[in-house]
Structure 1
Amino acid sequence: MGRMKKFDETAQQVLNLMKDTISAKTFFVATTQDERFRILQTINQEGGCSIPAKVDAPLSESYCGKVVHDSRPLLIKNSLQSDLVNNMQVTYDFSIGSYLGVPITFEDGTTFGTLCALDPSPYVLEERDIKKLEGYAKLIANSLELEKAFLKLQDYELQTKKEFQLARNVQRSVISKPYKDAHIEIDSIYTPSFHLSGDVCTWYKIKENLYGVIVLDVMGHGVSSALIGMALHASLKDIIMREVEPFEVMNELNQVVLTLFEDDSNMVTFVTGIYTLIDFNIKTVRYMNAGHPPGLVIHSKHHELLDRGSMPLGIYPQLTQKTGEVSFESADEILLYSDGLTDFLYTEKESAAETMAREHSTAKKENQTTISHFSNYVHSQSDHADDICLVSIKLKR
């Protein structure tokens, strides 16, 4: 075991207590692991035993080896008259007249080492000192176990952080990149509340003049919602390219959500979402909203809500076939977002849609893009109560 800062502090404090409460002149803490006897901390008062500055010897050549072997305290009142130790070289090298050692034992029964008091004179240590030393040894054992647990927790947190970062990188790698062509320009903000996000946003050019954009928000936060979101993301391209129309896409996604939990009746979740099909052939946005905050189509002088639809996905096997359609003109902009953004910008005086429209107007007055304007808000705080997602869709011609 490597040396630990808190252990060193505790050991020194315990040795000072021993010095004040036990009559001997020399005290030490030793480790007896790997069949070696190593002294870690020492207090040696004037007239004490001859303890070298560094001790690292075979365990069998030390008194402490006998303490560990028997797993109990060892009191030797007169070393020179004790048949147990008077033939050991350490008796003379350390000038030991009397000795008391107790094992330092962990909760699981394993032994870390020994806590010892010794003196050049015989008959200095008595039976009454055993309980004191055992109490001090327990303090050291507790300190070691606490620090081991703390270091293990630190290692776990570090490993978990690395794994979350890897998962976050994987999650970010599948997010659609900003898209731009002669008709449309799409960009987004995607910020998790924790390491991973339960929000999903993606977009596809289905065919010439036809684009599908979807935002989903899995109930909850963190790992579980992120895993569900990733599972849904894996199905999105196939469903959108195959089904195309809003109701068909959302109804198919509803089946995917239900299938994820068909073998676990105790697992209950739902997913809100909005899917828009942007058709430049007839300049309309066909959409379906499944219990999600209403999207906005922002025209030059007013805005329209994308709020028609059904309940969230994953609740009932069949969605209500209710979709909406909005016409658009060149230079209009569509905003799709999760409730994490509107909660972040919450004000009692207006609805979520009104807040989004107002902030969009502010961005325009300040000659900022929608994404850069909202990014300034979002990134002004490092922690968020909910995942945040915003998709800006600029319609050109």
Structure 2
Amino acid sequence: MQDAPAVKRARITRLTVTDFRSYARADIVFDGRPAAISGANGAGKTNILEAISLIGPGRGVRGARLDELPRLDGDGGWAVSARVDDGEDERRFGVGAAASNPSRRVCRIDDRDASGPGAFADHLRFMWLTPAQDRLFMEGAGERRKFLDRMTLAHDPAHGRRSNAYEQAMRQRQRLLDDSARDDSWLSAVESQMAEAGTAIAAARRDMVSRLEAAEVTSEDNVFPDADLALEGALEKALDAGPREGVERDFAENLRAWRRRDAEAGRALTGPHRSDLLVTHRAKGRPARLCSTGEQKALLIGLVLANARALSLSDPHAPLILLLDEIAAHLDEGRRAALFDILDDLGFQAFMTGTDKSLFEAWGPRAQHFDVSGGAVRELYLT
């Protein structure tokens, strides 16, 4: 009996950055293995991950403004380009801004102008972990919503468009509420749009939570603990009790009934923009926010790995790229080795950074190793 053919997944094969952050220019060739990038603090490791993440929807791993991206000693423009082997063809993606118009982001796919960064979502999907997320369970609900939405976007590129539509409708509704001479029929139409997009967002998040729980990642020593997940929010609760069409209709009606309340508050007080992701350490029955720093990190990594596993189960050819900044910083040797084995098994291309190349020794030749120093990136060859 012949073995099943290997699944072909998207791989970034080349990254070129010009006048971006700390780099005057860098041209890096990747061979498809996981990339382990080491270097001192401030050397520019995270800048590489950020450059990669900009070949996707949104504002990248740092959520930076356009004026924060050009090199300080450059002319004010910047560019990032990537070549991607999608399993069938080589595709070319580019993003940047010209010095003559630094506030306008230019996106290109195969040397043709794209409508914006959202167009990248149909070709590449990203999931990342950065040190800024280490306090995810201690921060406000907004950070956890963004984390969950990023995971959802990896499965459903349309989730980003629904979120943008909801935010736009919500802002438009508030402007109309603030206008005493508003057109109520127009306001009702906007509330219907808000209800449609908002209910779809809540439904997609519920589906994402179900996928995560069905795709738990386990290892021999259970180094990344299982988590119980729940969504806290009015729409999510309503979807638990009734069909989506009814929830959407009721939400639109409630928005009309809440006009005075929301006008006085200056914002909509109910909707998916107020929901929260609740995470509990299953074995200990303890909310994640009450767990130790190490346990919180392990739970967080476990969720990212579960998301990648869920995507591999639902869409084996999904073009997911994992960006893991300082991923090994708080993991002991055993957990690092377990993490690398799981990533190896998942088969998605992963880019990892760390201050010391010894953190990635367990990878050995399974990974491609790089050193960052002096504004340059060079490949390390293991002996």
TM-score class, shorter-chain normalisation, is under 0.3
Comparing both chains, which one has the higher relative contact order based on Cα–Cα distances under 8 Å and sequence gaps of 6 or more? 2
* TM-score, normalising length: structure 1: 0.24
Greater Rg over alpha carbons, structure: 1
Which structure features the higher share of helix residues? 2
* TM-score, normalising length: structure 2: 0.25
